[in-house]
Chains A and B, each alone.
Chain A
Amino acid sequence: MEANLNHVHEPWVRIAKRDNMSFLTKLGIRIAVLAVGIVICAIIIYIITGLNPFVVYLTVVKGAFGTVRRIWATVREMMMLACIAIGLAPAFKMKFWNIGAEGQVLIGGIVSAGCMIYLPFLPAPILLLLMFVLSAAAGALWGLVPAVFKAKWNTNETLFTLMMNYIAIQLTAFFVSKWENPKGSNTVGIINPNTRAGWFPEIAGQQFMLNVIIVLVLALLMNIYLKYTKHGYEIAVVGESWNTARYAGINVGKILVRTMLLSGAVCGIAGFLAVSGASHTISTSTAGGRGFTAIIVAWLAKFDSLTMLFISLMLAFFDSGANEIASKCGLNDYASDMIIGIILFFILAGDFFVNYRLIFRKKLSMGTVDKNVGASGKEVA
């Protein structure tokens, strides 16, 4: 059939949107893509260190879950990341690019540390409650500023919140040099090492249990808030289109401000967790880039709390694991950032295969093409 000459020039692959896919298939694709990412990481580690990749991954698992202590360290890290992601979820659902979690966490942390330093005499429950409230308020304030300008003049929030991070970092540096202990060290050191004032109490004998409880409660509340409340509905509408929101009688500016107050507050609470529930000190690296990582967590999870917890666990796992490899092999602990970067690249790529399918060119006779394409082409995932 000469008529088929035409097909020779057809692009060899085309992309089409997928309509429906079962939950299991989606999960399968994601796991497969993740597996590829892990293998690639293994290869890279092998190239750098010359170690057997299986041994390496065994080390990763041991590093993350090897001892009870390590499990708790991983869980603590996971809760920290999840807490920030939970805070970011409402902002991102509203399509407000809050890149400023890093700063909001730090501000919350500063306030917590300040309370510990200046008010150690308060009874523990009151002090903790006060720290909780004040750090949430401080984070909310940090989120409020860009929101107000966005609402009033549509000022680009991506860069505004980004700059707010650095302002917060400088503010932290200011307080660190103010509170430094001992003098000249330029660090704050462990605050209240003897009285443990403002430290999270042990619950059921576990130091980090309170972190877990707070984050799980926040996760649950945020899920309900976004899915079932009027506020959640308003956030969804504003996120889709400001015009539709105005048409619906929603005051867009009010929602922007209210939601960013909430988002900043939860990130501020994350700062409280970091200082009071983990490090018991404050430094410019208290947030440690988690504010950025959490953005990716919230986005990938499509704002679903359970998924956010899961992704956080995964990242915390790789983080602790990579640190273990690093120390075992005498490498530095930035290896974990590299590995997490690679893993995230693969998760991002995985999204494509969940949402689209590839149609490859077929060198078949016209009649066959007809039948095949009618059945929506050859699917490749």
Chain B
Amino acid sequence: MADAAIEFKNVTKRFGSVVANDHVSMTVNKGEILSLLGENGSGKTSLMNMLSGIYFPDEGEIFINGKPVTIRDPKDAYALKIGMVHQHFKLVDVFTAAENLIVGIDPGKKLNRKEIADEIKEICDKYGFVVEPGKKVYDMSVSEKQTLEIVKMLYRGADILILDEPTAVLTPQESEHLFSVIKNMKKDGKTVIIITHKLHEVLSVSDRVAILRKGRYIETIKTSEADEEKLTELMVGRHMELNIERPEVKNKELRLSVKNLNCVNSEGQQVLFDINFDLYGGEILGIAGISGNGQKELLEAIAGLQKTLAGASVIYYDPEADKKDEDGKSAGMEMIGLSPRMIREKGIHLSFVPEDRLGMGLVGSMGMTENMMIRDYSTASKSLLFTDKKKPRELAEEIKESLGVVTPDISTPVSRLSGGNVQKVLVGREIAAAPAVLMTAYAVRGLDINTSYTIYDLLNEQKKKGVAIIYVGEDLDVILALCDRILVLCDGHVNGILKGTEARKEEVGLLMTALKDKRREETAE
């Protein structure tokens, strides 16, 4: 045990009645790269938060370099040379890189920005980072922010570095670069723990893999002895068929035609540039791209939540109208300029599962019943003045039953439900509206594998019914397996539309960034 950097002994952490970590005992060796693998909700982050001082264990002990330690707050963690890069970056937007770096250190010392800039350069040169000390965080890209976070930890002299889902927001290429930096750090004698649920990453970068399941420690195996199948089995607890279905649907009809879509965000920057694509009933159109490249605005523009620039057009072709029409082509309905309410009132069957479930799709403080009313509270009740809660209540019961939503009662505020159950409520409601077009944004983010597959199945079911589906996702493997076509967004541009069966991951990854660089060159000239 002499070369153990970290040792957990019977560590338990609870939140109310939820046990996040249940008597976890495990060891991390000095100078190794360890992947901490587990599904969403398996307790990876809360375990690591006990190392970084964010949480305090309810029971058990932690040993660092063989000595028992007490980590009450992040200060203690820094003193033990432990640094954690959280999934949600802990940066101050209005500060510069340099200011963010020194926050919390040596409060009595003079604030010499020049000196700090020099120190930053030293670290960057050593490991191969690029950080501009004077740049404000709000001007940074996601990967710049992440780099800053890592440099911040190194600046604080961290020997043990914990990265929480570091690649969630990076392109495959950026991830590769990150991994090479991590390997540099290992050479330098640092211990690195990567929290992840992506199997291929585990296999490509780490020395060993530790697996957590439902808050319990399962075991640690050498990466050289692992493969995807085995890891999944350990992670889920049983054998899982990892293949996502992609049923073939015949007779696809044009359902949505998007032309010349340009959007400007609230800060006046253009975020969508000349988007053109068609969407057919009975297909899933995947939208790939690094998050924040226009996905949100695209879906919201179609849903009538985002203003578009002049000349844009989104034509909706109703499935019912199609049948009635003799020459097979019906006059479509223009959706641009319509508010969400007008879209509904015109009989356009559009359902939308937004990215921000509790901040846009649902009202957290309300129960399931009242959340069922959100889309049609105004039309569903015959009364001019009063709401009707009878039908919503029935719908809530039905969704609770059919999708297995775990909630004490349909009147319990949905913010109290777990992430997976919240998503079931939202998706259930949107599907119950019998859509012709269904848009989903990051539908499986934060869900465990089982719930994720439930969602994939629900989408495929809708697809077979002839619904046109837009699936905005972040996991390229899933997009490649699930979608019939893949539209790649980069910096608000459509960088290409690929066939799902033929697209390769590297190709999609390149499209997610490539044009950006090309455009940069153009502007440079």
Contacts and interface: CB of A to CB of B under 8 A. Distances in A.
Q: Do the two chains touch directly in the complex (Cβ atoms below 8 Å apart)?
A: yes
Interface of A: 3, 5-6, 9-11, 16-17, 19, 228-233, 236-237, 240-241, 243-244, 246-251, 366, 369-370, 373, 376
B352 interface: yes
B352 A247 contact: yes
B16 A228 contact: no
Given A237-B363, A244-B360, A3 B61 contact: yes
Interface string B136-147: 000000000000
Given A244-B362, A247-B340, A247-B374, A229 B387 contact: yes
Contacts of B344: 249
B59 A370 contact: yes
Contacts of B68: 5-6
Q: Which 5 A-B pairs have the closest CB atoms?
A: A249-B341, A249-B340, A9-B70, A243-B360, A248-B374
Nearest to B381: A230
Given A228-B386, A233-B373, A249-B339, A243 B56 contact: no
A254 to B, nearest CB: 11
Contacts of A230: 377-378, 381, 385-387
B370 interface: yes
Contacts of A231: 385
Contacts of B91: none
A233 B377 contact: yes
A17 B352 CA distance: 33
A240 B305 contact: no
B61 A6 contact: yes
Contacts of B16: 16-17, 19, 376
10 contacts: A6-B61, A9-B72, A230-B386, A233-B370, A233-B377, A240-B366, A241-B359, A247-B303, A247-B354, A249-B378
A369 B387 contact: no
A244 B386 contact: no
A228 B61 CA distance: 53
Contacts of A373: 14, 58-59
Interface string B49-83: 00000001111111000001010100000000000
B359 to A, nearest CB: 5
Contacts of A236: 363, 366, 370
Nearest to B344: A249
Contacts, number: 93
A366 B59 contact: yes
Nearest to A224: B386
Contacts of A228: 386-387
A11 B360 contact: no
A370 B358 CA distance: 34
Given A247-B340, A373-B59, 13 more contacts: A5-B68, A19-B17, A230-B385, A231-B385, A241-B358, A246-B360, A249-B340, A249-B378, A251-B339, A366-B59, A370-B59, A373-B58, A376-B17
Contact of B56 (A11, A19, A251): A11
A3 to B, nearest CB: 6
A95 to B, nearest CB: 11
Nearest to B363: A240
A369 to B, nearest CB: 6
Interface of B: 9, 12, 14, 16-17, 56-62, 68, 70, 72, 303, 305, 339-341, 343-344, 352, 354, 356, 358-366, 370, 373-375, 377-378, 381, 385-387
A221 B521 CA distance: 65
Nearest to B385: A229
B369 to A, nearest CB: 11
A249 B338 CA distance: 10
B375 A248 contact: yes
A243 B365 CA distance: 15
A304 to B, nearest CB: 15
A236 B387 CA distance: 13
A355 to B, nearest CB: 13
Contacts of A3: 9, 61
Most buried by B among A19, A231, A243, A244: A244
Contacts of B59: 366, 369-370, 373
Contacts of B354: 247
A240 B56 CA distance: 32
Contacts of B373: 233
Nearest to B375: A248
Nearest to B374: A248
Given A16-B16, A228-B386, A247 B339 contact: no
A131 B62 CA distance: 73
Which of B56, B59, B340, B378 has the most CB atoms of chain A within a 10 A radius of its CB? Answer: B59
A331 B62 CA distance: 62
B387 A237 contact: no
Given A247-B354, A366-B59, A11 B72 contact: yes
A191 to B, nearest CB: 38
Contacts of B360: 241, 243-244, 246-247
A319 to B, nearest CB: 33
A9 B12 CA distance: 16
Contacts of A9: 70, 72
A240 B370 contact: no
